[in-house]
Homo-oligomer: A and B are copies of this chain.
Amino acid sequence: MSAIRLLVLGAVRQHGRAHGYQVRNDLEYWGAHEWSNAKPGSIYHALKQMAKQGLLLAHEIAPSTAGGPPRTEYEITDKGIREYLKLLREALTAYDQKPDVLSAALGFMVDLEREEALELLEERVRVIEEWRASVTEYYTPVDGPEQLGHIGEIMNFWVYSADRGAEWTRGLIERIKGGAYTFAGEGEPFMGVLAEGVENPYATGESHPGDRQ
How many copies of this chain are found per oligomer? 2
Bound-state Cα–Cα, A138 to B6, Å: 25
Cβ-closest chain B residue relative to A175: B153
A150: chain B residues within 8 A (beta carbon): 106-107, 109-110, 180-182, 190, 192
A160: chain B residues within 8 A (beta carbon): 164, 168
Bound-state Cα–Cα, A180 to B209, Å: 31
Contact mask A33-46 → B, CB, 8 Å, 1/0?
A: 00100000000000
Interface residues of A in 58-101 (CB under 8 A from B): 94-97, 99-100
Bound-state Cα–Cα, A94 to B213, Å: 11
Tell whether A106 pairs with B210 under 8 Å between CB atoms, given A99-B161, A138-B202. no
Does chain B have a CB within 8 A of A31? Answer: yes
Interface residues of A (CB under 8 A from B): 1, 30-31, 35, 94-97, 99-100, 102-103, 106-107, 109-110, 127-128, 130-131, 134-135, 138-139, 141, 149-151, 153-155, 157-158, 160-161, 164, 168, 172, 175, 180-182, 190, 192, 201-202, 208-213
**19 other A-B residue contacts (CB within 8 Å) besides A99-B158, A107-B151, A135-B208:** A35-B154, A35-B158, A95-B210, A97-B99, A103-B158, A106-B151, A106-B153, A127-B209, A128-B210, A130-B209, A130-B210, A131-B210, A134-B209, A138-B202, A141-B201, A149-B181, A149-B190, A153-B172, A160-B164
